[in-house]
Amino acid sequence: MPKLVKGGKHVYGWSKVSSKGKVMVPDEAITEYNLKPPCKVILFPGSKRSGGFAVTTVTLLKNSPLSRILHENPKLANFQLPEGKTVMIAERPYCVVTLNPDKSITVPLETLKQYGVNMGDRLLSVRGSCRALGFCVKGPLIDEAKNHSSLTVFK
């Protein structure tokens, strides 16, 4: 997994958003975040700078500052929300989707728009933290990644 610049974040590669909102999750990220498809995952907004969204699990959030979101929103924590339908928490969209056996998530296009993502976008999959996998859509990291033609494109 390369770093684009010295001291920068590790990236896995590009994941293209299909016409049905399907986004591939890199094998290396599946292993690193201990994801076990099929399983439910939580999406929440990426940073203002990078946009997009982050993918995490209840287990990864339990001992983090974001654990309060789970305590305050049991329907989110217990996956009792309709698949891909957002719930607004502190004016930020959160939703639950399934990580499928083919290592993809499918997010309704309308939901993706709430994260600033559109059909056909190339999302840069990034090691965000030990708590969540980032799928970035804008910002300096994206600009730098466009200069690295050797990055894998996951389809």
Confidence grade of residue 4 (pLDDT, cut at 50, 70, 90): low
Structure tokens at 78: 């217990």
Query: How far apart are alpha carbons 119 and 8 in whole angstroms?
Result: 28
* pLDDT score of 2 more than 60: no
Quick: pLDDT tens for 62-89. Answer: 888 889 999 999 999 999 999 999 999 9
**Which helix H or strand E contains 13, and what residues bound it?**
strand 11-16
- Segments making up each domain of the chain, as ranges: 11-154
The dihedral sign for the CA sequence 99, 102, 108, 114:
positive
pLDDT for res 129: 77
Assigned CATH class of 11-154: alpha beta
Residues of the chain with pLDDT > 70, as a percent, come to: 95
* pLDDT score of 145 more than 70: yes
**Using omega within 30 degrees of 0 as the cis cutoff, is the peptide bond preceding 101 cis?**
no
Whether 113 contacts 106, CB under 8 Å: no
Quick: pLDDT tens for 98-129. Answer: 999 999 999 999 999 999 999 999 999 999 77
Mean pLDDT of the chain, nearest integer: 92
SS3 category, 105 = strand
